[in-house]
Amino acid sequence: MKNRYYFAILVAVVLFGHGAESHAQEKSRRPPALPGDDRTEIRSKNIPVRFEQVRTLAIDASGKFMFVGTPLGLFRSDDSGRSWQKVGVSTKQSNYDVIAITPDPRDAKLMYIGTREAGVLKSADGGLSWKEINTGIRGPDVRGLAIDPNSPSKLYAAVREKGAGIYRTNDGGAKWARVDGGPQGEIEVLTSVNIPTGMGGIFLYAGGSTGLQRSPDCF
Amino acid sequence: MGSLSTHGTVKGFAVDPENPKTMYAATRDGLFKSADAGESWKPLGKDVKNSAAVTVSPRKPHDIYVANVEGKIFTSADGGLKWKAQK
């Protein structure tokens, strides 16, 4: 009788124990936190803003406004990055992944951005309104955008995947044409630099997974 | 531009508008500066790890701003010698 009683307890312990264990296993299989929980919080006039990741940083020609490009869109700061306000770029979609920000070096109202979803966009009013300028560009995924410091209506865009290649415009983005012989590989940043060498002129610098490449601007 | 490739992907790049041979490159290993248009590079600001982007003030080219991947901003007012985290 007594033995049967102990046996019942043993069975109960084993069953209960097993149940608790499988419950624990189930719990451990669940992801520890929702994706995005580790995003850094950044103050925006006391309203928290979350950046998933920083893609690029730029300052307009006046030196007044700083811009940051993120997978959650474009943000602007008037206090050197202490606080940020979201800049609406599109009415079609709430966020574009902003990879490149290229302010005109002379005109503080004029700037260009490169996005993964909508190619190149241009603003002529300091970022209040934006227009897609992709005539001639054969893919949406822009990874680098360079502006010629000497003639700022001349820009280069690096496109990845569909329509991959380097595109050039000579008229501030009204039309683009693909060019050969430029930097190769997976480009992360593209910049036009005026190097005062003996030859003089503009060089295109491309940064990416293989370091930095320099090409003369005559391809 | 060889020496930079050993530091992984170049994520950010900026040029001093007044002296374009002075340039900055942001990599996972931190920030690098060149004074000879990219022929040679030296590391800057050991505090700024995992840098994702860099920019130079167009009005004050000694003012350098770097963002790390998470969005923390670091500033230097002397071309990258001394750094502080933006509060």
The span from the CA of A3 to the CA of A80, in Å, is 78
pLDDT reported for residue A50: 64
Are residues A141 and A161 in contact, defined by beta-carbon separation less than 8 angstroms? yes
What's the mean per-residue pLDDT of chain A? Answer: 82
- Per-residue pLDDT for A43 more than 80? no
A63 → closest Cβ in B1, B4, B59: B59
| Residues B55, A189: C-beta atoms closer than 8 Å | no
| Closest CA of chain B from A143, distance in Å | 11
Closest CA relative to residue B33, chosen from A184, A203, A54, A212? A212
Q: Alpha carbon of A143 to those of A111, A124, B45: distances in Å?
A: 16, 21, 27
B71 → closest Cβ in A54, A80, A214: A54
Q: Could you tell me which residue, A189 or A41, shows the higher pLDDT?
A: A189
Q: Which amino acid is at A202?
A: I
The span from the CA of A171 to the CA of A182, in Å, is 20
Helix (H, G, I), strand (E, B) or coil at A187: strand
Lookup: tokens for B80: 């990258």
Closest CA relative to residue A150, chosen from A188, A99, A203? A203
- Per-residue pLDDT for A14 more than 50? no
Q: What is the per-residue pLDDT across A127-158, written as a single tens digit (0 to 9) for each?
A: 999 999 999 999 999 999 999 999 999 999 99
The span from the CA of A156 to the CA of A178, in Å, is 9
Q: How many CB atoms lie within 10 A of CB B29?
A: 14
Query: Which residues, including other chains, have CB under 8 Å from residue A156's CB and lie 6 or more apart?
Result: A144, A145, A146, A166, A167, A168, A179, A182, A190, A192, A204
Phi and psi at A77, nearest 5°, equal -130, 140
Between A and B, how many residue pairs show a Cβ–Cβ distance under 8 A?
122
Q: What is the mean pLDDT of residues A72-87?
A: 93
Say if strands B64-68 and B73-76 run parallel, antiparallel, or are unpaired: antiparallel
Q: Which amino acid is at B11?
A: K
Interface of A with B in 94-133 (CB under 8 A): 103, 105
* A1, HSE (Cβ side, Cα atoms, 13 Å): 0
| Closest CA of chain B from A51, distance in Å | 7
Q: What is the per-residue pLDDT across A177-192, written as a single tens digit (0 to 9) for each?
A: 999 888 988 999 999 9
pLDDT reported for residue A24: 42
CB < 8 Å & 24+ apart, contacts of A162-165: A162/A138, A163/A137, A163/A138, A163/A139, A164/A139
Q: What is the per-residue pLDDT across B17-71, written as a single tens digit (0 to 9) for each?
A: 999 999 999 998 899 999 999 999 999 977 788 899 999 999 999 999 999 988 8
The span from the CA of A113 to the CA of A123, in Å, is 9
* A215, HSE (Cβ side, Cα atoms, 13 Å): 17
Which chain A residues have a beta carbon less than 8 Å from that of B5?
210-212
Smallest CA–CA distance from B60 into chain A, residue: A63
Helix (H, G, I), strand (E, B) or coil at A108: coil
Which chain B residues have a beta carbon less than 8 Å from that of A39?
70
The span from the CA of A111 to the CA of A101, in Å, is 7
Q: Given pLDDT bands bounded at 50, 70 and 90, which one contains residue A125?
A: very high
- Per-residue pLDDT for A168 more than 80? yes
Closest CA relative to residue A95, chosen from A147, A36, A38? A36
pLDDT reported for residue B86: 85
